Amino acid sequence: MARGRLNSSNKAEAELPKAKLNKETLRKVSRLMAYLKPYRGMFIAALLFLFLSSLVGLAFPLLIKSLIDTAQGRHTFGLLPATIGGIFLFSIAILLGQAFVSFFRILWFVNVAERSLADIRRDTYFKLITLPMNFFSNRRVGELNSRISADLSQIQDTLTTTIAELIRQSLLFVGGLALMATISVYLAGAMLILVPPLIVVAIIFGRFIRKISRQAQDKLAESNTVIEETLQGIAIVKAFVNEAYEAARYGGNVRDVANIAIKGAKYRGMFVSFIVLCLFGAMVALVAYACVLVSHHKLEVSGLVTFAFYAMYVGSAMGSFPDLYANVQKAVGASERVLEILDEKGEEISISETNNAINQRIGGALTFSNVGFAYPSRPEITVLDNVSFEAATGQRVAIVGPSGSGKSTMAALILQFYHPQSGTITFDGIPSNEYSLTDIRNQVAIVPQDVMLFGGSILENIAYGKLTANKEDIIQAAQRANAHEFVMSFPEGYDTIVGERGVKLSGGQRQRIAIARALLKNPSILILDEATSSLDSESERLVQEALEELMKNRTSIIIAHRLSTIREADKIIVLEKGRIIESGSHDELITNEQGLYRYLSTLQFEGVN
Ligand SMILES: Nc1ncnc2c1ncn2[C@@H]1O[C@H](COP(=O)(O)OP(=O)(O)OP(=O)(O)O)[C@@H](O)[C@H]1O
Ligand SMILES: [Mg+2]
Which residues sit opposite 526 in a β-bridge?
Answer: 445, 556
**40 in a domain, yes or no?**
yes
Position 249, amino acid: R
Q: Read off the pLDDT of residues 493-504 as tens digits, 9 standing for 90 and up.
A: 999 988 777 777
Q: Which ligand is nearest to the CA of 401?
A: 1
Whether 302 and 407 share a structural domain: no
Looking at the structure of the chain, the number of domains it has is 2
Q: Whose CA is nearest to atom 18 of ligand 1?
A: 406
**Which domain-ending residue is among 343, 358, 388?**
343
**561 in a domain, yes or no?**
yes
**Residue to probe by mutation, ligand 1, list 375, 449, 600, most atoms within 8 Å of CB:** 375
Q: What are the distances in angstroms from CA 527 to CA 116, 290, 303, 551, 560?
A: 41, 86, 85, 9, 11
Whether 307 and 398 share a structural domain: no
Ligand 1 atom, smallest distance to 410 CA: 18
Burial (0-12, 13-18, 19+ Cβ within 10 Å), 272:
middle
* pLDDT for the residue 426: 95
**360 in a domain, yes or no?**
no
Tell how far the Cα of 499 is from the centroid of ligand 2, in angstroms.
25
| Contact (CB, 8 A) for 416 and 442 | no
Distance (Å, whole) CA 195 – CA 281: 12
**352 in a domain, yes or no?**
no
Whether 324 and 409 share a structural domain: no
* pLDDT for the residue 101: 92
Q: Does the CB atom of residue 134 touch ligand 1 within 6 A?
A: no
Q: Read off the pLDDT of residues 208-220 as tens digits, 9 standing for 90 and up.
A: 887 888 888 888 8
**12 in a domain, yes or no?**
no
pLDDT at 21 over 50: no
Which residues sit opposite 408 in a β-bridge?
Answer: none
Element (H, E) at 388: strand 384-391
Q: Read off the pLDDT of residues 309-359 as tens digits, 9 standing for 90 and up.
A: 888 888 788 778 877 877 887 788 888 888 888 888 877 665 554 556 778
Q: Does the CB atom of residue 408 touch ligand 1 within 6 A?
A: yes
Handedness of CA 420, 421, 423, 424 (dihedral sign): positive
**Residue 237 CA, distance from chain mean position:** 26
* pLDDT for the residue 571: 92
| Domain of residue 411, CATH code | 3.40.50.300
Mean pLDDT of 545-559: 86
Whether 585 and 526 share a structural domain: yes
Q: Is the overall model pTM greater than 0.75, yes or no?
A: no
| Contact (CB, 8 A) for 158 and 338 | no
Q: Does the CB atom of residue 594 touch ligand 1 within 6 A?
A: no
**354 in a domain, yes or no?**
no
| Contact (CB, 8 A) for 140 and 223 | no
pLDDT at 171 over 90: yes
User: β-strands 422-427, 366-373: how paired?
Assistant: antiparallel
* pLDDT for the residue 10: 34
The parent domain of residue 198 ranges over: 18-343
Whether 294 and 391 share a structural domain: no
Q: Read off the pLDDT of residues 56-89 as tens digits, 9 standing for 90 and up.
A: 889 889 888 888 888 888 777 777 777 888 888 9
Tell how far the Cα of 407 is from the centroid of ligand 1, in angstroms.
8
**Residue to probe by mutation, ligand 1, list 3, 134, 382, 408, most atoms within 8 Å of CB:** 408
Mean pLDDT of 437-466: 88
Whether 239 and 150 share a structural domain: yes
pLDDT at 509 over 70: yes
* pLDDT for the residue 421: 94
Distance (Å, whole) CA 462 – CA 514: 7
Whether 215 and 307 share a structural domain: yes
Q: Report H helices in 354-483.
A: 407-414, 437-443, 458-463, 471-480
| Contact (CB, 8 A) for 462 and 474 | yes
**129 in a domain, yes or no?**
yes
Across 495-584, the runs of DSSP E, i.e. the strands, are 525-529, 555-559, 571-576, 579-584
Whether 329 and 377 share a structural domain: no
Whether 281 and 169 share a structural domain: yes
Whether 275 and 373 share a structural domain: no
Question: DSSP characters for 57-119?
Answer: HHHHHHHHHHHHHHHTT----TTS-SSHHHHHHHHHHHHHHHHHHHHHHHHHHHHHHHHHHHH
3-state secondary structure of 308: helix
Q: Does the CB atom of residue 406 touch ligand 1 within 6 A?
A: yes
| Contact (CB, 8 A) for 561 and 385 | no
Whether 370 and 330 share a structural domain: no
| Cβ partners under 8 Å of residue 416, min gap 6 | 432, 437, 440, 441
Whether 279 and 409 share a structural domain: no
| Domain of residue 265, CATH code | 1.20.1560.10
**Residue 540 CA, distance from chain mean position:** 40
Mean pLDDT of 140-156: 80
**359 in a domain, yes or no?**
no
